[in-house]
């Protein structure tokens, strides 16, 4: 899709192909509202929990063929095994993608690459589930080594112990680093799997374009509420077209403020991470407060406070932070932690009085 003279690859379609009607109707509406460059649908699904929808399987390939012939749209499906690659080749599928759960498994990536040898398949490589750029690069290199020339990396976010407020943390520094080490590689962003819900899709899409990503892969379903997988994050084709038309496309290198914009994006990301980390710290403080209340332990433990301060100052010093500034921050955080714990104790006392 050409927007503002910038070539943006739009891949859109349902998380899963669920029925012929749902697949074809979604494709029809997408063609009408968004004209995506590629139609995607998962047909083999590697699901985290059992008793969830694992995809229609090979029978759905014919629905993708129909989409391709009716709407003249190239089509994409995920392959989890070399047999899937074979079936996709037979069904004339244009793109396959390696999912986040496959990319963590270099052996399986290798097997899939064997099946790709000597073919013209176009391959999308999602980032691995965990934030390890080496696995991502390893998979891309294996695909390239199998003779595939059209490879696109897909940034779909990373699973970390604490993902709030996302389903998968964007950790933009990782795709940024991939771009640095592989400058000719196209990278597109999958905001659906980063967000896990529809209300933050727009911000992530905008951020991806501001970081000069080459496109977007977005999950779209004619009726997201009834979707058999990832229903919270899917949007209707009409909604997708609204989001796409609201995006601002800045031309790389055009603006003298380009560098400034980049740096501001970095600051926005880092501030987001700082706030998320701070919120997580305060949640743990609450748990500690409850523990102290239940075990009748005093809030202020002088020895522990002294240790925390000394340790953080030493670490900050090594990181070349300005120490008076760091002391101010540590004091504020400590005071807030005490306030939270005092609140918890007081609440308990009032409840006891009321009983």
Which residues here bind ligand PEP, judged by CB under 6 A? Answer: 15, 42, 99-101, 126, 156, 193
Could you say which of 15, 85, 96, 178 contacts Mn ion (CB under 5 A)? 15
Give whichever of 18 and 230 is closer to Mn ion, judged by the CB atom: 230
Distance in Å, CB of 45 to Mn ion, minimum: 8
Closer of 80 and 113 to ligand PEP (Cβ) = 80
Check residue 230 for interaction with Mn ion (CB under 5 A): yes
Alpha-helical regions (H) of the chain: 20-33, 61-71, 82-90, 100-103, 106-116, 133-145, 173-181, 191-195, 201-210, 237-245, 258-294, 302-318, 323-354
| Shortest Å, Cβ 156 to ligand PEP | 4
Nearer to Mn ion, 198 or 230 (CB): 230
Decide whether 68 or 221 has the Cβ nearer to ligand PEP: 221
What does 156 interact with, of Mn ion, ligand PEP, none (CB < 5 to 8 A by kind)? ligand PEP
Which pair of structure tokens corresponds to residue 43?
């047909």
Q: Name which of ligand PEP, Mn ion, none residue 126 binds, using a CB cut-off of 5 to 8 Å depending on partner kind.
A: ligand PEP
Name which of Mn ion, ligand PEP, none residue 17 binds, using a CB cut-off of 5 to 8 Å depending on partner kind.
Answer: none
Nearer to ligand PEP, 79 or 236 (CB): 79
CA dihedral 263→268→270→274, nearest 10 degrees, is: 150
SS3 assignment, position 141: helix
Report the nearest approach of ligand PEP to the CB of residue 162 (Å). Answer: 19
Please name every residue paired with 10 in a beta bridge, in sequence order, or none if there are none. 216
Question: Closest CB to ligand PEP belongs to which residue?
Answer: 99
Say whether residue 195 binds Mn ion (CB under 5 A): no
Residue range at the interface with Mn ion (CB under 5 A); choices 10-18, 29-37, 203-211, 310-318: 10-18
Smallest gap, in angstroms, from Cβ of residue 42 to ligand PEP?
A: 4
Considering beta carbons, is residue 8 or 217 the nearer one to ligand PEP?
Answer: 217
Residue 228's binding partner among ligand PEP, Mn ion, none (Cβ under 5 to 8 angstroms by kind) is none
Q: How far is the CB of 101 from ligand PEP (least distance, A)?
A: 6
- Residue written as token pair 């709030």: 164
DSSP 168-229: SB--THHHHHHHHHSTTSEEEE-HHHHHSSGGGHHHHHHHHHHTT--EEEEEB-SSGGG-SS
Instruction: Report the residue number whose CB is nearest to Mn ion.
Output: 15
Q: Which is nearer to ligand PEP, 22 or 341 (CB)?
A: 22
Residue 73 vs 139, nearer CB to ligand PEP: 139
Q: Which single residue is written with the structure tokens 């997201």?
A: 224
Q: Which long-range contacts (CB under 8 A, 24 or more apart) does 83-92 make?
A: 83/115, 84/44, 84/112, 85/112, 85/115, 85/116, 85/119, 85/121, 86/115, 87/58, 87/61, 88/61, 88/121, 89/119, 89/121, 91/61, 91/62, 91/64, 91/65, 92/65, 92/68
3-state DSSP assignment of residue 75: strand
Number of residues that bind Mn ion (CB under 5 A): 2
Four-residue CA torsion sign, 219, 224, 230, 232: positive
Q: Which residues bind Mn ion (CB under 5 A)?
A: 15, 230
């Amino acid at each position: 899709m050409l927007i503002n003279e910038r070539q943006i690859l739009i891949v859109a379609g349902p998380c899963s192909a669920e029925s012929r009607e749902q697949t074809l109707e979604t494709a029809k509406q997408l063609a009408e509202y968004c004209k995506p460059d590629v139609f995607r649908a998962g047909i083999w699904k590697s699901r985290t929990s059992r008793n969830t929808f694992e995809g229609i399987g090979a029978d759905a390939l014919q629905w993708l063929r129909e989409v391709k012939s009716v709407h003249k749209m190239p089509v994409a499906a995920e392959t989890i095994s070399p047999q899937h690659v074979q079936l996709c080749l037979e069904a004339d599928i244009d793109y396959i993608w390696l999912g986040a759960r496959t990319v963590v498994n270099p052996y399986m990536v290798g097997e899939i690459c064997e099946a790709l040898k000597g073919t013209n398949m176009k391959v999308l490589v999602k980032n691995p589930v965990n934030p390890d750029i080496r696995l991502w690069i390893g998979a891309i290199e294996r695909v390239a080594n199998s003779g595939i020339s059209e490879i696109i990396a897909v940034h779909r976010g990373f699973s970390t112990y604490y993902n709030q407020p996302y389903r998968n943390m964007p950790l933009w520094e990782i795709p940024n680093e991939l771009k640095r080490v592989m400058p000719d590689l196209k990278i597109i962003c999958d905001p659906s799997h980063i967000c896990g819900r529809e209300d933050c899709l727009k911000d992530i899409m905008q951020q991806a374009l501001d970081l000069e990503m080459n496109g977007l892969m977005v999950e779209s379903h004619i009726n997201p509420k009834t979707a058999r997988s990832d229903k919270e994050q899917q949007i209707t084709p009409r909604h997708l077209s609204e989001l796409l038309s609201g995006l601002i496309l800045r031309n790389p290198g055009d603006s003298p403020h380009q560098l400034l914009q980049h740096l501001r994006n970095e600051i926005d990301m880092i501030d987001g991470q700082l706030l998320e980390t701070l919120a997580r710290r305060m949640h743990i403080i609450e748990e500690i407060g409850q523990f102290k209340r239940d075990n009748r332990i005093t809030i202020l433990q002088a020895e522990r406070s002294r240790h925390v301060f000394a340790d953080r100052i030493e670490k900050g010093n090594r990181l070349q932070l300005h120490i008076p500034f760091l002391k101010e921050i540590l004091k504020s955080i400590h005071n807030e932690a005490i306030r939270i714990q005092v609140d918890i104790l007081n609440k308990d006392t009032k409840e006891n009085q009321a009983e």
